[in-house]
A and B are shown apart, each in its own frame.
Chain A
């Protein structure tokens, strides 16, 4: 029950700060709109570029919204309030992961078919990309959230965060670009989950001291 409450609290927060749900999806579309300006209008190349740009924009939009996982709650004191309710920190961290993934990656996944139509990608390829994103994006969210938990409280962490996180995204992008590697991505996400759960919990335990 508390699990459900914490998730719905985060989703409600995302919904109320009304840019949140739209942000990731519109970011993806805007990046894709830039492609024709860079590469001209030769249609046959677009569908090849499509997968790559989907993954790059997912990586960037996760990076840009990472502040909402722990940092904003830390800065205004809500993290203190949540921790004092004495829920296990693991539970709090899981709720944060799940709600952030729902608020950021589900809109992206919903926009992919529409974006795919714009680029004349065929239905089978779109389906494969969606499966890959579905399997891979949770892992990217987990890693990003863990690193931002580690840098909680340090003032100039933003630039370090990006430098640490981008290399960790490389495996996801390599396998994401390959259409039949959904299972590998799922495995990567699960590994990332274990790693991130422990690091985030540990750093939340430390941050007060």
Chain B
């Protein structure tokens, strides 16, 4: 199945200040887009706009030829993993996963995903006792918990070591091959493989 995300002439305004303008791009199935840019250039704003959190914008975002501002129900096929990990610090990993399953309304067997991310041995540990990298890895669990078409990753590489970055690259590759689209923002020197590059500095209004 093929999907297509088209952004046309997007202009994002927050608190009466234009963050970026005239941003257009097309992303198709099996493509990964890297969003680069200086701090404060609007990488997170762009991802949050696509995810529908910021609903006031000019221009249009089309997913499979449907305007996302009108057909908001299509956004349930999107997964946003932001800089916040969505983890409850005082609970164990297992308990956090159970809470996510209820949010995503899924009862899928998670053991495969646990093997894939290699976090099985952390299952009964409290989140506070984990390192930042391990928390980040567990927060990526949400991507795999149920099938989604578009993945929006905000700085997913922060705190991850080279092995885990490689692992994430493979996971994204698998997702893309089954018709998915991935957008991620990063400022690191090491990058995941990407097909398209967008540099927010070209669109940012300072």
Chain A residues in contact with chain B, CB under 8 A? 1-2, 5-6, 8-9, 12-13, 16-17, 72, 75-78, 80-86, 205, 208-209
> Cβ of B84: which chain A residues have Cβ within 8 Å of it?
75-77, 80
From A77, A86, A205, B75 is in contact (CB under 8 Å) with A86
From A17, A76, A83, A85, B53 is in contact (CB under 8 Å) with A83
Check if B52 is an interface residue, CB within 8 A of chain A: yes
> Cβ of A76: which chain B residues have Cβ within 8 Å of it?
84-89
> Cβ of B2: which chain A residues have Cβ within 8 Å of it?
none
Check if B103 is an interface residue, CB within 8 A of chain A: yes
> Cβ of B82: which chain A residues have Cβ within 8 Å of it?
77, 80
> Cβ of B76: which chain A residues have Cβ within 8 Å of it?
84-86
Name the distance in Å between B63's Cβ and chain A's nearest Cβ.
13
Main secondary structure of the interface of B (DSSP, over half): loop
For the complex with contacts A5-B102, A12-B98, A78-B99, 19 further pairs of A-B residues with Cβ separation under 8 Å are A9-B103, A13-B99, A16-B88, A17-B88, A76-B85, A76-B86, A76-B89, A77-B82, A78-B103, A80-B53, A80-B80, A82-B103, A84-B78, A85-B104, A86-B72, A86-B75, A86-B76, A208-B55, A209-B53
Query: What is the total number of residues of chain B having a CB less than 8 Å from a CB of chain A?
Result: 35
Check if B56 is an interface residue, CB within 8 A of chain A: yes
> Cβ of A6: which chain B residues have Cβ within 8 Å of it?
102-103
